[in-house]
Structure formats: C-alpha cells, structure tokens
Amino acid sequence: MNKTRVIHYPVQCIVRQPLTPVNIYTVLPGHIRKVVGVKAVHSVGVQLMSTDSYLPVIGYLSLEFNNRQYHIGHIDVPFDNRAEASDAYLDTSIDIVPGSLLSGHYENKVFTGTDYQRANGTVTDKWSNYIVTIYLKALSDD
C-alpha cells in the first residue's frame, strides 16, 4: 500500500431545529494531510417531511479548515432521494495542519414555518431531525 492514499472521511451533523444554526466543531484525525475534495449531502431525515424526491437546496454550509484559518465559502446542500449517486466533489487543495479543527456552521432553509417550530422554540410533530454528512476526500498517511 502506498504511504499516502486517498480516503473518504465523513463528518455527520445532526439538525435538530429548523431555525437554529448548527455549529460544526470537530478535530480532524492526525493522519489527514490534505483535503482534495469536499461535498455535503443529505443523509436521512428530510424524506420524512417531504413528498418530493429532490429539493435543490435544504440549507447552506459554511466550512473552515485549519483552526479557522482557511474558509472555503458556502456550499448549498441539496436533498436528493433518488437512487442515483454523484461522486462529484468540489475540488479543493487544502494542506491540513495535523490535528486541527474543522469548523463552521450549517443553516437550515426548509420547513421553517410555525407548523414545524412553535413560538416557544420547541418543534412540532411535523419536524424530523435530519443528518447532513460532509465528505472530505483526503490524502491520508495512516
């Protein structure tokens, strides 16, 4: 096996309320040397709130690497419940400081009405928590 190889590293984020931004704050494994691609996908949950199989944007993701030193901008996150996958990543070339933070936030943009969250901040039965996964295509030397 080569010393450095390509891995696909997932970071799962749970969204528990429609109106509260989700803070992302996690330490990347020390063996990740470089991130060469990023994509964010809906994993599970939204299908419980929608009869559509495709929604182009359910939220926005803002990501920062290397202890907030490198901001890659905002990524639209779609909901695609069709059995067709895309292995398309957003190309990046980010040298990673070993053991540094991956941070940022995710802002939900769907099902934000009063049907889903009451004035007192609690969610209704119509709301379903959902999971967005950030995939990092990375060079690893483990």
Partner 1 sequence: MTRGFRYQQVSLRISESGQRVYFNAESHKDYTLLKGISLSVGYEAALFGSTFGFRVNEKKILDESHEAHLLVFGNDVPHNQRMLFFETPVPIHASKLEGIYTDSALQALLGNTSYSPGGGVIPPADVNVKKTFVSGKDIVSYSRVIADAVLVSDNAGVIVGGGGLGTGPVAGSPDPTNPSNPLSVYYPYDVRITMYLSV
Interface positions with partner 1 (CB under 8 A): 1-2, 5-17, 20-26, 41, 43-45, 47-48, 50-51, 81-87, 121, 125, 128-131, 133, 135, 142
Write out the two tokens for 8.
């696909």
Residue 73 or residue 121: which is nearer to partner 1 going by CB?
A: 121
Closest approach, Cβ 88 to partner 1, in A, equals: 10
Residue 43 or residue 112: which is nearer to partner 1 going by CB?
A: 43
Residue 6 or residue 57: which is nearer to partner 1 going by CB?
A: 6
Closest approach, Cβ 124 to partner 1, in A, equals: 12
Residue 73 or residue 87: which is nearer to partner 1 going by CB?
A: 87
Long-range CB pairs of 86-89 (<8 Å, 24+ gap) are 88/39, 89/36, 89/37, 89/38, 89/39, 89/135, 89/137
Closest approach, Cβ 142 to partner 1, in A, equals: 7
Closest approach, Cβ 58 to partner 1, in A, equals: 13
Q: How many residues does the structure list for the chain?
A: 142
Closest approach, Cβ 117 to partner 1, in A, equals: 11
Residue 87 or residue 114: which is nearer to partner 1 going by CB?
A: 87
Amino acid identity of residue 120, one-letter, is N
